[in-house]
């Protein structure tokens, strides 16, 4: 077998494995959404969703994340065009927007906790913090991935293995965008109207 065939075979297995991972994440988030749907009215003596949601604040978070996803797509296109510096610069922007998103989410959680609305107050808040927090942990993992990608681009350039990792990262980041749109719609938008 020649080297090109071996590399293609390895890439096929890598992409299949990553799609399998994304499917397990879909199951995880589906479970968390189902749990939230069951527990959203279990407020005990705590607040309900419309009492804690600051929709303009969350809209800014959403814009940050959607913009970062667009930029990650541009970074992949720049990498495919062989533009190393532009790729790195776009990844820095993706990192900054993603970090801003995580910072806003942590700020929201801290505000809720300081007002006495922590995860332990009610079933609703437990489900809320778990669903939104799990997404935030995924974004944080993505931020670490960007740092590693940046170091690899600096050391190896846009080699085939770096390109594969960048492609997988972009898939992951877009997946998190889709999950966030569902969270924004179901938890925040519908919750503010409840």
Structural domain boundaries in the chain? 50-193
Q: What's 159's DSSP letter?
A: -
Distance CA 117, CA 47 (A): 7
Distance CA 143, CA 61 (A): 16
**Where do the H-state alpha helices sit in the chain?**
3-39, 49-52, 55-80, 84-114, 123-156, 160-183, 190-193
At the top level of CATH, which class does the domain 50-193 belong to?
Answer: mainly alpha
Q: Roughly how many angstroms between the first and final C-alpha of the chain, as a whole number?
A: 61
Cβ–Cβ < 8 Å for 151, 166? no
pLDDT by residue, tens only, the chain of 194 residues: 444 444 555 677 889 999 999 999 999 999 999 999 999 999 988 898 989 999 999 999 999 999 999 999 999 999 999 999 999 999 999 999 999 999 999 999 999 999 999 999 999 999 999 999 999 999 999 999 999 999 999 999 999 999 999 999 999 999 999 999 999 999 999 988 86
pLDDT tens for each residue of 89-108: 999 999 999 999 999 999 99
Q: In the prediction, which pLDDT does 4 show?
A: 46
Distance between CA atoms of residues 127 and 194, nearest Å: 16
**C-alpha dist (Å) from residue 103 to 16, 106, 157, 173, 193:** 33, 5, 30, 17, 25
Token representation of residue 113: 């906790």
The DSSP secondary-structure symbol of 29 reads: H
């Amino acid at each position: 077998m020649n080297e090109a065939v071996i590399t293609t075979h390895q890439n096929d297995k890598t992409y299949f494995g990553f799609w399998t991972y994304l499917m397990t994440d879909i199951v995880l988030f589906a479970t968390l959404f189902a749990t939230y749907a069951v527990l959203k009215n279990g407020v005990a003596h705590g607040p309900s969703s419309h009492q804690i949601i600051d929709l303009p604040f969350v809209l800014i978070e959403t814009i940050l994340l959607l913009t970062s996803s667009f930029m990650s797509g541009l970074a992949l296109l720049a990498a495919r065009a062989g533009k190393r510096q532009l790729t790195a610069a776009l990844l820095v922007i993706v990192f900054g927007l993603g970090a801003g998103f995580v910072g806003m989410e942590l700020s929201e959680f801290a505000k809720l906790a300081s007002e006495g609305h922590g995860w332990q107050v009610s079933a609703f808040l437990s489900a809320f913090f778990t669903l939104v927090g799990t997404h935030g942990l995924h974004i944080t993992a993505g931020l670490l991935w960007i740092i590693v990608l940046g170091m690899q681009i600096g050391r190896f350039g846009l080699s085939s293995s770096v390109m594969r990792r960048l492609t997988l990262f972009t898939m992951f980041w877009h997946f998190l965008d889709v999950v966030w749109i569902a969270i924004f719609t179901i938890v925040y938008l519908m919750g503010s109207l409840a």
